A and B are shown apart, each in its own frame.
Chain A
Amino acid sequence: MARFVLNRALKAVLTVWIAITATFFLLRLLPGDPTTLMVEGDMTPEMRAALLKTYGLDRPLLEQYVSYLRELLHGNFGISFRQIQPVSDILLDRLPWTLLLAGVAFLLTIAVGIPIGVYAAAHRGRWPDRLLQGFGIAGHALFVPSVAMLLLVWLGARLGWFPIGGAIDPDTRGLAAYLSLAHHLVLPVASLVLVQLGPYALTLRTNLIDVLGEDYIRAARARGLSGRRRLWKHGLRNAILPALTLMGLQLGTLVGGAVLTETVFAYPGVGRLIYEAVGQRDYPVLQGAFIMLAITVVVANALTDLLYAVLNPRIRL
């Protein structure tokens, strides 16, 4: 167990380092720099040079990289070019919102996806199954911002059931604030869940159908176990393992989807911060955000591995 955890931790550190390095160099390979967007102001070459010096971008790339890594090891993510504030402060302001949005969507996808997948597998070839197959394929084809805008126009503007954007009514306090928070969360979460749910439930359904054809399930039936028991206890336990891996991998997609969802719903998370920082070429903010997201995905995958081992008795750590 200890060896597995150590091995996994080392791989996680390596993955994060690769993410840091790739982010650092890829951002600088993009055309333009933080002064490019200021082109329409009266920017003399001297002013541009002064700004680049202020940002530390006048130094050789390798020197910038080493310096950045050194600062990171001290927990310093740098100072935002545009906001003149520590990146860690900016990110910590936004992170809770993204974790809330992506976390609730993640849990809801699992909580709703499992029963749907099981039900479809148990009713293979009948209309609930066919409906899920259509929904699952549609999920692959749906584009998060389109779904988000559709929900916003229909349920927000037309029917007036949900607020248009934002995360909370800032004038509410106490219980009303929590209710407002939940009210604002419904549509962004629904957008993410609608896109994720179909493929997830479909994967589970396919796995479960395979499992239900296995010898040990037939043996269970021969032993007189009820259909419900065979399905939920013996079938699902084995079918859920690949689906679990899929969800671990999809967490990255979920966070990526949050970037677009947060923009449409004016949700104040890291996703929207990235959207704004890309336009401004605010390297420190982008680097900090991507590192944080990389860590989130790496940790989630590591936890998935651990959970996989717990659920699968054939794996011994």
Chain B
Amino acid sequence: MSRTFSGRTRRWRVAVALGAAAALGLSGCGLNEGNSSSGEGSGGDAVLRVGTTTDVSNFNPLQSLSKTDSWILNAMYPHLLRIDENAKKAPELAKEYTYTDGGKTAVFTLRDDFTWTDGKPVVAEDVKFSAESIMKYKLGNVAAKLTWVTSIEAPDATTVKFHLSQPYAPFAEGVGFWMSIVPKHIFEGAGDLSKFANDSNWVGAGPFVLESATKGQRYVMKRNDRYPLAPGGKPAVGKVEFRLYPDVNTMMLALRNGDIDLMGTPVPASAAKTFANDSKIKLAKVGALGFAHLTYNMNNKDLARQEVRQALSMAVDTKSIISSVLQGDAREMSGPISPIFADYDNTEIQPYPFDPAGAKAKLAAAGYKDGDGDGLFDGLDLGVACDQSNANITRVVQLFRESAAKAGIKLTNECVERNTFLSRTKDGEYDIDASQWGVFDNPMDQLRSTYLSSNPGGINYNLLKSPEIDRLIDDAAGTTDPAAFATKIKNIDKVVHEQAYLTPLYVENFQFAYNASKFTGFVASPSDLLGMVTAYSLAQVKPVG
């Protein structure tokens, strides 16, 4: 008996030991990652640790469509232009741009002091190659912005000419901001760029270049010692390390705990107060390049009527939404152009007042009746679709339902899982779309994408087919004189507002948290796409002390 017992004990011990060894051995692949960094250095050795939410899904900057990818890739590959703190385009690789040939040729003049990390200069041929590759393989979302390009010239090392089939006013702004410039001498050997993973031996010309990538854990970037937009010609921090935290609550704890120095993703408005008593953590506030809105499906017989759309606009209490849902951290809008684009925002437009009684009277005048006396107009029953993962918009829909009922309009909450929502939106299976535009870098692209009947960006959620709007947009698009262009945009702003094709709700303020006791100098740009992790911002950061 005792022999059996001790034999079993031995087997257990062996099993436990084997299990532990196997468990540790299994994870061995992650234990000997091939680089080391000091983490807490100072001055030139300092490591800035940034929290991000997901892995890099695609290292090819010409193809990637991910926001979190762009934080890393934009630090590596320069763009012709950047967006500054005031949502205006500022020079990056390009010193300037002009239009010639009646707006049919856009000419960029490049700086001559950008250098790839393998020592070769960044030249016009790199820009030409990047654009031609995008056009050839239809890569990313920049391909649509190059629609008008008939040919590209690089007459010398610092000049790039884009010849267009027709003038398009914001062409240079759109392409300049969105298009990554890649090293021709590296990428041209990769063949089909739609299949090029670019996942090792990175060569960049931004302030930092990837040194190692450990999927699921971290991405380490080392400094480019020749980056002309950094003070003194090179970034002050030695490395930038992106650490992964899929859950934003965990990321906030990591910042507070000192595990990271900056949250790449914005702090939710409801959680910003949790940092109030932490003297080390500071919040930088920026506006958005998109906005929240209610968009009306013109294929619905009721929503095709201007009076109904206007009544709905009068049944939304945007002030209350901003104060209760966003704790006041948002700006009210009047027309369909975000006030962040100050040059194009038509300030003469007044938002529709919150007036449920007035809305009710308007609908009654339009012929709607409440035959059964239940306080709701007969047959006016509309669904509001939204992405239920967006907590703010989901709450907006609840508030909208309640306030619309006071105006006699019955609304049904149709908020669903994100992909289902997007799929239904693309197929036009909704009455009212409650959502938030992500990033528009200029108002013209926004108007084209959202109102042109040809629906070039697939986001004409109104399903609008208005010859008048088409004409106004096409006319403005071909206007290269800045003052005339702004006037035409403001006019479209006015028409859309009068027609109430959409009800703008708010422009959200984003708050980015960072450890101010360790690093300073961040330059915040509008939107959660840019925030504090732009190439320009990372190049300006310096350790405290």
Contacts and interface: CB of A to CB of B under 8 A. Distances in A.
Interface string A30-43: 11110011111111
A94 B30 CA distance: 10
Nearest to A46: B138
B65 to A, nearest CB: 5
Nearest to B38: A171
A266 B215 contact: no
Interface string B5-30: 00000000000100100011011111
Interface in A49-101: 50, 54, 82-85, 90, 93-94, 96-97, 99-100
Interface in B160-189: none
A171 B36 contact: yes
Contacts of B65: 38, 41
A44 B456 contact: yes
A212 interface: no
A167 B437 contact: no
Contacts of B459: 39-40
A28 to B, nearest CB: 12
Contacts of B218: 170
Contact of B27 (A84, A97, A153): A97
A170 B49 CA distance: 13
Contacts of A279: 418-419
A280 interface: yes
A220 interface: no
Contact of A93 (B31, B216, B243, B256): B216
A interface, by DSSP: helix, strand, loop or mixed?
helix
B428 to A, nearest CB: 13
A177 B31 contact: yes
Interface residues of B, number: 69
A276 B458 contact: no
Interface stretch (B76-84, B109-117, B191-199): B191-199
A264 B247 contact: yes
B458 A85 contact: no
Contact of A44 (B144, B194, B250, B424): B144
A37 B459 CA distance: 12
A134 interface: no
Nearest to A268: B216
B254 to A, nearest CB: 4
A40 B246 contact: no
Interface stretch (B53-61, B89-97, B371-379): B53-61
Contact of B30 (A36, A47, A97): A97
A181 interface: yes
Interface stretch (A10-18, A155-163, A245-253, A286-294): A155-163
B215 A94 contact: yes
B140 interface: yes
Contacts of B138: 46-47, 50
A258 interface: no
Most buried by A among B36, B216, B423: B216
Interface string A267-306: 0110011011001110000000000000000000000000
B141 A165 contact: no
Contacts of B420: 30-32
A170 B143 contact: no
B493 to A, nearest CB: 21
A128 interface: no
Most buried by B among A31, A83, A85, A157: A31
Nearest to A84: B197
Nearest to B197: A84
22 contacts: A39-B458, A40-B439, A41-B140, A42-B144, A42-B445, A42-B449, A44-B143, A47-B144, A85-B199, A94-B216, A100-B24, A107-B19, A149-B250, A157-B253, A160-B257, A164-B250, A166-B259, A173-B36, A177-B31, A181-B31, A279-B418, A281-B419
A272 B246 contact: yes
Interface string A143-157: 000000100110011
Interface of A: 30-33, 36-48, 50, 54, 82-85, 90, 93-94, 96-97, 99-100, 103-104, 107, 149, 152-153, 156-157, 160, 163-168, 170-171, 173, 177-178, 181, 263-266, 268-269, 272-273, 275-276, 279-281
A124 to B, nearest CB: 26
Contact of B250 (A43, A152, A273): A152
Nearest to A51: B138
Nearest to A262: B246
A294 to B, nearest CB: 20
Nearest to B214: A170
B58 A165 contact: no
A269 B29 CA distance: 13
Given A45-B458, A47-B143, A166 B217 contact: yes
A270 to B, nearest CB: 10
A178 B253 CA distance: 24
Interface in B236-251: 243-247, 249-250
A31 B26 contact: no
Contacts of A43: 141, 144, 457-458
B284 interface: no
A7 to B, nearest CB: 27
Given A96-B26, A100-B27, A42 B141 contact: yes
B173 to A, nearest CB: 14
Contacts of A177: 31-32
B434 to A, nearest CB: 15
Contact of B259 (A93, A165, A273): A165
Given A31-B419, A165-B259, A181-B31, 8 more contacts: A31-B420, A42-B143, A54-B194, A82-B57, A103-B23, A165-B253, A178-B24, A181-B24
Given A45-B458, A167-B217, A268-B215, A96 B250 contact: no
Contacts of B253: 152-153, 156-157, 164-165
Nearest to B437: A40
B426 interface: yes
A223 to B, nearest CB: 14
B87 interface: no
Contacts of A44: 143-144, 456-458
A99 B143 contact: no
A276 B55 contact: yes
Nearest to B429: A31
A37 B419 contact: yes
A170 B33 CA distance: 7
Nearest to B417: A31
Given A36-B422, A39-B459, A44-B456, A93 B29 contact: yes
B195 A103 contact: no
B310 interface: no
A93 B458 contact: no
B27 A157 contact: no
B49 to A, nearest CB: 11
Given A40-B459, A42-B144, A268-B217, A263 B30 contact: no
Contacts of A173: 32, 36
A33 B423 CA distance: 8
A83 B215 CA distance: 11
Interface string B36-68: 111100000000000000110110100001100
A281 to B, nearest CB: 6
